[in-house]
Amino acid sequence: MSSIKSPTARPPSPAWREFSHSPVTCIEDLRKLAERRVPRMFYDYADSGSYTEGTYRANESDFGKIRLRQRVAVDMTNRTLASTMVGQPVAMPVAIAPTGLTGMQHADGEIHAARAAARAGVPFTLSTMSICSIEDVAEHSDRPFWFQLYVMRDRGFIDRLIDRAKAAQCSALVLTLDLQILGQRHKDVRNGLSTPPRMTIPNLVNLATKPRWCLNMLRTQRRTFRNIVGHAQGVGDMRSLSSWTAEQFDPALNWDDVKRIQDRWGGKLIIKGILDEEDAEMAANSGADALIVSNHGGRQLDGAMSSIAALPGIAAAVGDRIEVLMDGGIRSGQDVIKALALGAHGVFIGRAFLYGLGAGGEAGVTECLDIIRRELDVTMAMCGLRDVTRVTSDILVDKPEMPRNV
């Protein structure tokens, strides 16, 4: 009996074989590998939400309630996933989201993720709370990246951070508005989250089970918040994430601050953390180029709507005036196409790429992006389309009235 091979299947890359001897078929496989290979406190930091984690779970589960229309006997040749995000050409409408402590999932994690994103033709976004600095990533990546900004009380530090992003030729600024105060994540409290990790007996026992992670971390000097240490006044050491953020994140942040930051930046501006239609109107009126429908991965207001549930109303309200993007819960190419059908122009992936990074470094991020690309391509074809920019709510069984995704 002859074997049948999927036309989209391809063997794992040589780099990936170094990290995994078992087949990786989906993002969940990467998650399981990351859970085994990343120290507990850093895996939990990525894979957790605030309080009961209800919103975190809803971000994923609500995608499962959306049904797709299968179409047959249509021409599925010459498909394309090429699109744009904030005017920048992308190989598929997916960007890597800004995530704090990325460099603790794998040594020099931000550099590795930026390289993988560049090869895949999608944007990489560096977090203010990254381990590798703006300058580190700019030095080791040959493609412009985006920078995400948190607003701190120290406005001089923020101005210098913006200027550093401009000097590094970052092509967009992602301004996060939903972290004026920090939602409590119980796992971080229990684990005593810090970077580098404190050498307590429980931490030492856990680290002893992660030899590859430890060896890679010993080979780098990048183990703390390099955007902050040596740049913020009076900050020479950053062991505790929670204490510094509690002191510095600005609860008085308002739309006047957005305008001031926009004026200093002078380039493409994306506003992140919009979950309400009134706030979406404010974002559209601010002159920003795009907004991101986001609940911070369920890590802030537990009990808030999932991002995918909030997306259709926001897209309908402002999608004709500002580019609407979204993040939260995307674990597959099918999730990507569902978001596009509900009005998103593009999406961001956070935990999905972190699982890949923790599982296998740069090769793991490449594997993550390849999985999502293949799933998006096949799902689009089975829905009867050949061009991702033509995705609309017509591909949904129960479709809301939505603007065209153009």
Q: Is 266 annotated as a binding residue?
A: no
* 127 among annotated binding-site residues: yes
Give the three-class secondary structure for 21. Answer: coil
Judge whether 51 is annotated as a binding position: no
Residue carrying the six token digits 């580019």: 323
User: Does residue 164 have a known ligand-binding role?
Assistant: no
Which of 183, 189, 186, 170 has its CA nearest to residue 130?
170
Q: Is 65 exposed, middle or buried (0-12, 13-18, 19+ CB in 10 A)?
A: exposed
> Backbone dihedral region of 108: left (phi > 0), alpha (psi from -120 to 50 degrees) or beta?
left
Provide the terminal-to-terminal Cα distance of the chain, rounded to the nearest Å: 47
User: Has 79 been labeled as part of a binding site?
Assistant: no
Sequence-ordered list of residues with C-beta below 8 angstroms from that of 351, at least 6 positions apart, any chain: 31, 46, 47, 297, 331
Asked whether 115 and 140 are in contact (CB, 8 A), the reply is: yes
Catalytically annotated residue among 106, 112, 296, 345: 296
221 annotated to a ligand binding site: no
Measured CA distances, 283 to 185, 202, 207, 355, 357 (Å): 28, 45, 44, 31, 32
Residue 56 assigned ligand-binding role: no
Tell me whether residue 272 is annotated as binding. Answer: yes
Bond before 196 cis per omega within 30 degrees = yes
Beta-ladder partners of 348 = 95, 327
Residue 21 catalytic?
Answer: no
Buried b (16+ CB within 10 A) or exposed e, 14-34: eebeebbeeebeebebbbebb
**Residue 287 assigned as binding residue:** no
260 is in an annotated binding site: no
Residue 146 Cα to chain centre, angstroms: 12
Is residue 23 annotated as involved in ligand binding?
A: no
360 is an annotated ligand-binding site residue: no
399 appears as a binding residue in the annotation: no
In the annotated binding site for FMN, the residues are 98-100, 127, 148, 176, 272, 294, 327-331, 350-351
In the annotated binding site, the residues are 45, 98-100, 127, 148, 150, 176, 185, 272, 294, 296, 299, 327-331, 350-351
Active site residues: 296
In the annotated binding site for glyoxylate, the residues are 45, 150, 185, 296, 299
